[in-house]
Structure 1
Amino acid sequence: MKQLDVELETISFDPFIPSSVDAAIERVAAVINTLLVSFKANPILGPLADQLKSQYLDAIQHQVVADQGG
């Protein structure tokens, strides 16, 4: 989990450049899928991995909306 935090903290994007946002979304998904792949079969940790991905992706979208004044 610490490695996940380290990796996700390095992801940055410009909310005014759609390709930058798309790249950040793809990177978040890739990092979470790669680092948490071994948890997918676990009935408790598997859903947690999906929830983390959803939260990070939602945070990106919220930042885009907030920065664009919406």
Structure 2
Amino acid sequence: MLYRVRIDLCFDAEDISQAVFEKAKQVLAKAVKIARQGEPTGEVSFIEIHKCYHDEMPTKPCEIIKRIEV
């Protein structure tokens, strides 16, 4: 059994979002790689920071700035 942490936060300032991303990177080394990664039933642990345009009209897809997978 594993314990999973999921956090999805929006900020209106890039510096705050970058600071939260950097804090998450500090504990990334302790994350466990999930078995069966790459298989249809597998999953990937990751942290990601992206520009989200869902609050705009018309909306457009998110733009990934950084993503780190375990």
Q: TM-score normalised to the size of structure 1?
A: 0.41
Question: Higher Cα Rg: structure 1 or 2?
Answer: 2
The structure with the greater share of residues assigned to helix is: 1
Q: TM-score normalised to the size of structure 2?
A: 0.41
Higher relative contact order (Cα pairs below 8 Å, separated by 6+ residues): 1
